[in-house]
Chain A
Amino acid sequence: MALVLTEEQSMLRDSARGLISDKAPVAHLRGLRDAKDTTGFSRELWTTFAEMGFSGLLVPDQFGGSGLGCVEAGIVMEEIGRTLMPSPFLATSVLAASALSRGGSEAQKAQHLPKIADGSLLAALAIDEGAKHRPLQTKLQATRAGNGFKLSGDKAFVVDGHTADLLIVAARSAGSAGDKNGLTLFLVDPKAKGLAVERTAMVDSHNAARIVFDNVEVNADSVLGEVDQGFGLLEGVLNIGRGAVASEMVGLSDEVFGRTVTYLKERKQFGKAIGEFQALQHRAAELYIDIEITRAAVLKALQALDADVAKAATAVAVAKARAGTTATLAVQEGVQMHGGMGMTDQFDIGFFMKRARVCQELFGDSNFHTDQLASGKGY
């Protein structure tokens, strides 16, 4: 498949860009941060997202969505990355929609997917427990009780966990930390007894939560996919999420790069534009090259996911590893080349640096994915 966007995809990008740059420039995030907004995103904008068909982008047609793929989700994520718009899109429309449509029973799909598509249901995926992303190390315990289970343990870094109407929780129903077998995904009502959600204020002013499960009862119908065999489903969903976050990082990197190049042309020192200094020209050129290479790797991964999620692991590892290092480089160069200005809160560059750090950690950092690649190749 050609590694260029089709006409429809370009149109999608244009309409996403139009909406997001108009309604949610970086000032939007800044405003939410400064107001200490407890929702952390605009519900009104989410409604618009639904009206434009973005919220149900990955939801199959028969459940009211547009039935599009990861490339399209990546296109929207890239635009989100450009303005750092806080949005339920990742957690609800990418992660939860993929988990439900790939692993859900007909009843589960019929119950939740239409509501994701129409924007009325917000969901979140609860995976991480320790300081680093290690899904295989999942310890949150699922113990059989009656015809259902009881869940006990802690989750961290649950994106949008504080506003979710539905949680998708990875739990250990058998085996021990590190085992592939014995993981089960559950659909959990955040209002269930024994469940406590704490919104965690993050460096990037985006949303995340820590969630404590204390003998939370769930019935057998709430199992998503198969008992003890949830890892395959989870891995696929995570890979789709990783592709999406990698796209966000491409958008973020490209935007920082663009702003920096503009500054190189405007800022004058020693009687000339600082962009006339070859030391900076070469670094800008290197960053451009780095971003273009990452952009290709990310598009390749998104296409691989659309072709067959089960075979996309290596391409996704490459994409997420690259996106992490590229975004890190882009924001570091962005701050450095802006000199003192780059260090000020008043200037937007710092917001990009903060978000890049969080995206790096989200669903595995560059180290994690480099290691995945090596392990996948058997060394």
Chain B
Amino acid sequence: MADLEKFRAETRAWLEQNCPAEMRKPMTSDGDTFWGGRNTKFSSEARRVWFERMRDKGWTVPHWPKEYGGGGLDGEEAKIVRQEMAAIGARQPLTSFGISMLGPALLKYGTEEQKKEHLPKITAGLIRWCQGYSEPNAGSDLASLQTRAVGDGDDYIINGQKIWTSYANYADWIFCLVRTDPAAKKHDGISFILFDMTSKGVSTKPILLISGYSPFCETFFDNVRVPKSHVVGTVNRGWDVAKYLLQHERAMISGMGERGVGRPLGQIAADSVGADAQGKLDDAQLRSQIANFEVDEAALAAAAERAVDLAKAGQSHPAFSSAMKYYGTELNKRRYEILMSAGGIDALEWESDRSRGGARPRAWLRTKANSIEGGTSEVMLGIVAKRILDLPGA
């Protein structure tokens, strides 16, 4: 414990010295997120400085091994870094699907060569990844995917279509599920493969979201040639890799939303609905909705912390991330319903400068995808019923 307290003090001092003031302010738009990649730009000088200092310290991904550009921290230490960053409101230096999704799968299933090739480029923010799982007819039923990879010497030739591929149009590489054995049962003929989005035959077409933004694409593969050595894990056993990755994706999505940071919801609401002399919101219903929400939010935060600790202690159920994904995303949707209600008329404006281009309603609409992306709420509940409760027929 003494060591940890020392580590905490050092971490606090280092962050205090190295995190620019601008990087301690809440993010105001998607553009404030730094995703890395070949074509990336920093939105500000402070953004660049913060990222580079954290990268050099190994803290873009504190808990990954040092040899891959991580910080080599153990679970307790990594938690302290997270807590101390949260305490000063420090922004994530780097956000990427490489960190939250591909990395954990590579660490578990990748060859040493694959880890050396890809992980350092993730921690250094050099390569931006996208996820090629869903297809038009393979959403919740992901294992029915039809994108084909046919062997040709040392390569595969890939043909097919993905959909809902987030940021495919900005990504440098894709981790992709392809069918390598069409004769096998649906879960048994899938492989997990990596390739460069600039490969000949890859094209993307952005899809407009109800928020008015285009964060995802249709992605097409027309005779894309990929070396067989780019398969992660065993050929035809890609489903194991895919599912393992999904657990991490779900943990990430369940943690979305600005939990506990920024101004308390009640104060945001007070700006628009007013408060009485004691500071109580002038809308009794809204007040109780906010209070109920905050009770659940605090409890979820405890559950999230506990989930990490249980995992470390080897006591967690592998499907528990589905429970957290369900609760976390439904809660985040509730948060935005409350924010819309609190903002009232002002939160309905879509374009004005006053409304920062309709930032609030656009963010509200975006949250509706939280319970769809990474597996729908219905699928999460199904997984809990089947894998944790062991209910028959589930």
Contacts and interface: CB of A to CB of B under 8 A. Distances in A.
B272 interface: yes
Given A339-B372, A346-B208, A132 B344 contact: yes
B66 interface: no
A216 interface: no
Interface in A16-75: none
A130 interface: yes
B349 interface: yes
B381 interface: yes
Contact of B285 (A204, A279, A332, A371): A371
Contact of B365 (A157, A271, A353, A368): A353
A336 B345 contact: no
Nearest to A128: B345
Contacts of A342: 368, 372
Interface string B270-303: 0111100000000111100100000000000000
A100 B164 CA distance: 52
B374 to A, nearest CB: 11
Given A203-B361, A340-B372, A344-B209, A132 B283 contact: yes
A132 B272 contact: yes
B256 to A, nearest CB: 15
25 contacts: A128-B345, A131-B271, A131-B272, A131-B273, A132-B273, A132-B283, A132-B345, A133-B345, A156-B346, A200-B349, A200-B352, A201-B352, A203-B349, A204-B348, A269-B140, A277-B378, A280-B378, A336-B377, A344-B210, A361-B344, A365-B341, A367-B285, A367-B286, A370-B285, A371-B285
B381 A269 contact: no
Interface of B: 134, 137, 139-141, 144, 163-164, 207-210, 212, 271-274, 283-286, 289, 333, 337, 340-341, 343-352, 358, 361, 364-365, 368-369, 371-373, 376-378, 381-382
A269 B285 contact: no
Given A156-B345, A270-B140, A365-B341, A343 B361 contact: no
Q: Residue among A133, A269, A371 with the most chain B CB within 10 A?
A: A269
A343 B348 contact: no
B350 A371 contact: no
A270 B137 CA distance: 10
B187 to A, nearest CB: 12
A349 B209 CA distance: 11
A271 B143 CA distance: 12
Closest 4 CB pairs of A and B: A350-B210, A131-B272, A131-B344, A367-B285
A109 B286 CA distance: 41
Contacts of A336: 368, 371-372, 376-377
A343 B378 contact: no
A204 B355 CA distance: 15
A343 B368 contact: yes
A203 B134 contact: no
Contacts of B382: 279
Contacts of A349: 210
A12 interface: no
A335 interface: yes
A212 interface: no
